């Protein structure tokens, strides 16, 4: 089976349609952190095989003109349904929740399916009966977003008795007219049997729909099914075709697979030069299997000029990334090198690692510069959480939250502000943003060195905001391990529950100090593929010791808070909430 790429959690895509309801679809690719299989970033995004939803889109129609006349209000009061929807969205952006449902209902009562869907979604967590009524009205008119949410209601028993067959019916209706990421998710679900009865033929059908729309993850999965003969007649030529399409879009695993095809002559003419080319593309993205093969090629002089030092350097790099084959190969090869060559290979491996990290950071910095978007680009493609760390507007978050951004907004109770990327540490997945303004409430940062297994921690963030709302959500737990994914010393494993949208949020100690940043969770679907079982609440956060170097030149950071006897935990949380912000990425 295809080794799963790093994607976000299963829950995220289940609610993609709900988020896109206000804005339409957004299918930007979501970056994967260091090709860690089964690890899922906790960022809302509109892509990837098990793609997270885009952030809650908050439109802000134009306010009244200078003469006091509000054209939108006038049109809404005159009965124009689309204006009523936009007015509801304006109230949503302003935090005037009382008037949101009022204007959605006016449009919904006129039979507008978009308004009916929005109104149904609005009621999901307050009045299930009303939610189901309006979602069904919209779904009966063919509204894909309402069909998707109705499917979720039947699957999870939200306001209605669980009915898997009814859930599948509405899911398929929605996917027929939905985004490629939704169709790919449906393929994943049929392939694994999670949420659906396992059916490889149906998986192939939905992968093909998404793949033909250019969705790289679906192309990769379809290529593997042709290679293995699951759900379709085995056809290596078709496998190569779909591998190539995904590889040309930058899918590292497919780049590696395509390299294997050229190396073996599988339905392509055997060509070690072409194989080395695709191995290098994947290796440059940190794909350890490709780094190992590229190292062997340099040692053998296959497809590249023979270079033993370069070869061993790539094998070192693969081993450092956790590749067991590379680790076993090293002692069998090192005996052929003198001390000077071994030192040179290690130094070269360090250089290669730095080049890969610098390339990622450069991509982030180039893409995260803020520019004024045109109307077609005014659609949030992802959301996450963050926290002010200085009174003059510095915000700390995860680097993957803002990767690929053309515009960033910070949303607070007082309104929205544009933000720019000041610094990014791609290696540790940390980003520093800057808002214009002053008198923000900063969160103090404390050293992570004293935290141990069992230390109580919590986070406040904005998970699944379209369904769970805009209020910050508290979850708490303990530090489960001093090492993160595959014992990464830069991270903790934590039992604090997180969901899509929590990425970048502060991990705080009981005094309200930031001692880490929430990063990722083990993805249930991916782990089901890898290990045959679903993980329970396995999440990760980067330690503040690896965040502080990014802040060396930042002045006037507040000092860490010390324990105050008699301080209630609720009061600590209340202070942290004043610093936490929602981050919208365009």
Taking only the tens place, the pLDDT of each residue in 475-512 is 999 999 999 888 889 999 999 999 889 999 999 999 99
With tokens 């690890």, the residue in question is 39
Any idea of the CA torsion for 289, 294, 296, 299, to the nearest 10 degrees? -160
Give pLDDT, residue 44. 58
Give pLDDT, residue 56. 35
CA distance 369 to 170: 40
Give pLDDT, residue 88. 87
Residue positions counted in the chain: 586
CB distance 182 to 16 below 8 Å: yes
CA distance 51 to 56: 15
Give pLDDT, residue 529. 58
Q: For all residues of the chain together, what is the average pLDDT?
A: 81
CA distance 45 to 63: 29
CA distance 120 to 107: 12
CATH 2.40.10.10 fits 456-549+567-576, yes or no: yes
Strand duo 394-397 + 39-41: pairing: unpaired
Question: What is the average per-residue pLDDT within 455-479?
Answer: 88
Give pLDDT, residue 31. 36
Cα distances from 91 to residues 61, 198, 416, 584, in angstroms, run 10, 44, 14, 18
Give pLDDT, residue 301. 92
Give pLDDT, residue 325. 95
Q: What is the DSSP letter of 445?
A: B
Confidence at 28, pLDDT banded by 50, 70, 90: very low
40-54 per-position pLDDT tens digit: 566 654 333 223 333
User: Which residues make up the CATH 2.40.10.10 domain(s) of the chain?
Assistant: 456-549+567-576
CA atoms within 13 A on the CB side of 151: 26
CB atoms within 10 A of CB 143: 26
Give pLDDT, residue 361. 61
Give pLDDT, residue 533. 66
User: Does the pLDDT of residue 35 top 80, yes or no?
Assistant: no
Which H or E run includes 411? strand 408-412
Written as one string, the DSSP assignment of 333-379 is HHTTS-HHHHHHHHHHHHHHHHHHHHHHHHHHHHHS------GGG-S
User: Does the pLDDT of residue 76 top 80, yes or no?
Assistant: yes
CA distance 444 to 556: 11
- Spatial CB neighbours of 67, under 8 Å, sequence gap ≥ 6: none
Give pLDDT, residue 67. 54
User: Does the pLDDT of residue 564 top 70, yes or no?
Assistant: no
Give pLDDT, residue 127. 85
User: Does the pLDDT of residue 29 top 70, yes or no?
Assistant: no
Cα distances from 586 to residues 118, 395, 416, 506, in angstroms, run 22, 17, 14, 22
User: Facing residues of 541 across strands?
Assistant: 492, 518
Distance of CA 203 to the CA centre of its chain: 23
CA distance 133 to 297: 62
Confidence at 390, pLDDT banded by 50, 70, 90: very high
3-state per-residue secondary structure call for 172-190 = HHHHHCCCHHHHHHHHHHH
Helix, strand or coil for residue 500?
coil
CA atoms within 13 A on the CB side of 93: 19
Phi and psi of 499, rounded to 5°? -140, 170
- Work out the percent of the chain whose per-residue pLDDT is above 90: 42
Confidence at 456, pLDDT banded by 50, 70, 90: very high
CA distance 287 to 281: 9
Of 13-17, 360-364, 552-556, the poorest mean pLDDT is in 13-17
Tokens describing residue 407: 């515009």
Give pLDDT, residue 499. 87
Give pLDDT, residue 255. 94
Higher pLDDT, 40 or 129: 129
Phi and psi of 539, rounded to 5°? -130, 165
Give pLDDT, residue 110. 94
Distance of CA 349 to the CA centre of its chain: 29
CA distance 255 to 235: 18
Which H or E run includes 422? strand 415-425
Tokens describing residue 197: 């009865």
């Amino acid at each position: 089976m295809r080794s799963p790429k790093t994607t976000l959690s299963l829950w995220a895509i289940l609610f993609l349609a709900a988020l896109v309801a206000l804005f339409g679809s957004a299918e930007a690719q979501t970056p994967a952190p260091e090709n860690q299989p089964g690890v899922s970033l906790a960022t809302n995004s509109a892509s990837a095989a098990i793609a997270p939803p885009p952030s809650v889109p908050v439109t802000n129609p134009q306010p009244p003109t200078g003469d006091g006349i509000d054209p939108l209000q006038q049109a809404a009061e005159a009965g124009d349904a689309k204006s009523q929807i936009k007015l509801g969205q304006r109230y949503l952006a302003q935090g005037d929740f009382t008037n949101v449902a009022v204007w959605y209902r006016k449009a919904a009562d006129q039979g507008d399916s978009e308004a009916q869907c929005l109104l149904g979604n609005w009621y999901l967590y307050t009045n299930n009966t009303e939610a189901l009524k309006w979602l069904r009205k919209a779904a009966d008119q063919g509204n894909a977003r309402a069909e998707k949410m109705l499917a979720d209601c039947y699957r999870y028993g939200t306001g209605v008795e669980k009915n898997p067959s009814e859930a599948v019916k509405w899911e398929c209706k929605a996917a027929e007219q939905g985004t490629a990421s939704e169709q790919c998710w449906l393929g994943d679900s049929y392939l694994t049997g999670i949420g659906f009865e396992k059916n490889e033929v149906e998986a192939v059908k939905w992968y093909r729909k998404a793949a033909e729309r250019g969705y790289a993850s679906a192309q990769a999965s379809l290529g593997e099914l042709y290679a293995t003969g699951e759900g379709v007649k085995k056809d290596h030529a078709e496998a190569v075709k779909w591998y190539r399409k995904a590889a040309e879009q930058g899918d590292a695993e497919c780049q590696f697979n395509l390299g294997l095809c050229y190396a073996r002559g599988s339905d392509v003419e055997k060509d070690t030069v072409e194989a080395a080319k695709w191995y290098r593309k994947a290796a440059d993205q940190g794909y350890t299997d490709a780094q190992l093969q590229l190292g062997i090629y340099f040692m053998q002089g296959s497809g590249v000029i023979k270079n033993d030092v370069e070869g061993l350097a790539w094998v070192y790099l693969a081993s450092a990334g956790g590749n067991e084959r590379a680790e076993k190969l090293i002692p069998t090869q090192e005996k052929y090198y003198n001390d000077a060559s071994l030192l040179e290979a290690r130094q070269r491996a360090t250089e290669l690692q730095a080049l890969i990290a610098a390339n990622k950071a450069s991509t982030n910095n180039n893409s995260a510069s803020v520019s004024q978007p045109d109307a077609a680009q005014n659609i949030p493609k992802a959301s996450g959480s963050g926290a002010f760390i200085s009174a003059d507007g510095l915000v700390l978050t995860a680097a993957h939250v803002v990767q690929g951004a053309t515009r960033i907004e910070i949303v607070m109770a007082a309104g929205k502000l544009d933000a720019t990327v000041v610094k990014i540490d791609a290696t540790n997945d940390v980003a520093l943003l800057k808002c214009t303004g002053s008198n923000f409430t900063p969160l103090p940062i404390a050293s992570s060195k004293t935290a141990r297994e069992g230390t109580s921690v919590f986070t406040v963030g904005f998970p699944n905001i379209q369904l769970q709302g805009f209020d910050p959500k508290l979850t708490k737990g303990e530090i489960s391990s001093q090492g993160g994914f595959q014992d990464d010393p830069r991270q903790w494993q934590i039992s604090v529950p997180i969901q899509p949208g929590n990425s970048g949020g502060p991990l705080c100690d009981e005094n309200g100090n930031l001692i880490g940043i929430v990063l990722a969770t083990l993805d249930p679907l991916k782990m089901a593929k890898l290990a045959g079982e679903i993980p329970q609440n396995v999440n990760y956060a980067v330690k503040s010791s690896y965040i502080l170097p990014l802040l060396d030149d930042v002045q006037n950071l507040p000092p860490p808070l010390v324990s105050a006897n008699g301080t209630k935990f609720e009061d600590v949380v209340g202070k942290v909430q004043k610093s936490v912000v929602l981050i919208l990425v365009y």
